[in-house]
Amino acid sequence: MKTPESSGAVKQNIVRHYLSKQSPTHLDDTNYLAKQIHDPHTPLARTVVPIPVAAHQEASNIEHSLGLYARQKTKRPFTVVLYPNAPEYVSSKSVGPTFDALKRSKDLFPSLDFRYTDLEQFEDPIIGKIRKNIWDAVLLLGYHEKIYDDPDADIIGINHDIDTVSMSPRYVQRVDSYYDHLQTSRKKNLLMTRSPLPPTQTVIKHAMDPERPNLSKALFWYELSRRQLGSLALTDEGTVIPMSYYADNNGFDPKARLSEAIELVRKGARVKIPLTNMETSSRRYADRLHVVDYKSIWTEDTFGADDKCRINASSDISAQRLRTLILNSLPQLIPHFFLLIADEFWLKNRLLGNAEVEKIIDIPLRKKRRLALAVLDRIDNTGRLSFTADRMINMDEMIQDIRRYREPKIFRGL
**Strand residues in 123-214 grouped as ranges (E):** 156-159, 164-167, 200-206
- Whether the Cβ atoms of residue 352 and residue 360 lie closer than 8 Å to each other: yes
246 and 323 share a domain?
A: no
Q: Is the per-residue pLDDT at 115 higher than 50?
A: yes
233 or 298: which carries more pLDDT confidence?
298
32 and 132 assigned to the same domain: yes
What's the one-letter identity of residue 145?
E
Q: What is the mean pLDDT of the chain?
A: 87
127 and 219 within one domain = yes
Residues 166 and 276 in one domain: yes
- Give the predicted TM-score (pTM) of the model: 0.89
Per DSSP, the three-state class of 139 is helix
Pair 226, 333 in one domain: no
The verdict on 191 and 109 lying in the same domain is yes
Residue 312 maps to a domain: no
72-76, 128-132, 347-351: lowest mean pLDDT where? 347-351
Higher pLDDT, residue 101 or 152? 101
In a domain, 180, yes or no: yes
- Within-domain flag for 377: yes
Dist CA 288 CA 284 (whole Å): 6
311 lies in some domain: no
Residues 346 and 281 in one domain: no
More confident residue, 114 or 375: 114
176: CATH: 3.90.550.10
Contact 67, 37 (CB under 8 A): no
- One domain, residues 76 and 163: yes
Residue 23's φ and ψ, nearest 5 degrees, are: -65, 155
Cα separation, 59 vs 248, in Å, equals 34
What is the predicted pLDDT for the residue at 2? 36
Pairing of strands 156-159, 164-167: unpaired
Q: How many structural domains is the chain composed of?
A: 2
Structural domain harbouring 203: 7-294
Residue range 45-49: average pLDDT?
A: 98
In angstroms, rounded to a whole number, what is the distance separating the alpha carbons of residues 111 and 217?
38
Q: pLDDT tens for residues 54-102? A: 999 999 999 999 999 999 999 999 999 999 999 999 998 999 999 999 9
268 and 336 belong to one structural domain: no
Residues 88, 201: one domain? yes
Residues 365 and 356: their CA atoms lie apart, in Å, by 14
Do 273 and 327 lie in one domain? The reply is no
Q: Is it the case that residue 363 has pLDDT exceeding 60?
A: yes
Same domain, 74 and 151: yes
Question: Which residue from 312, 317, 310 is spatially nearest to 291, judged by alpha carbons?
Answer: 317
The reported pLDDT for the residue numbered 413 is 42
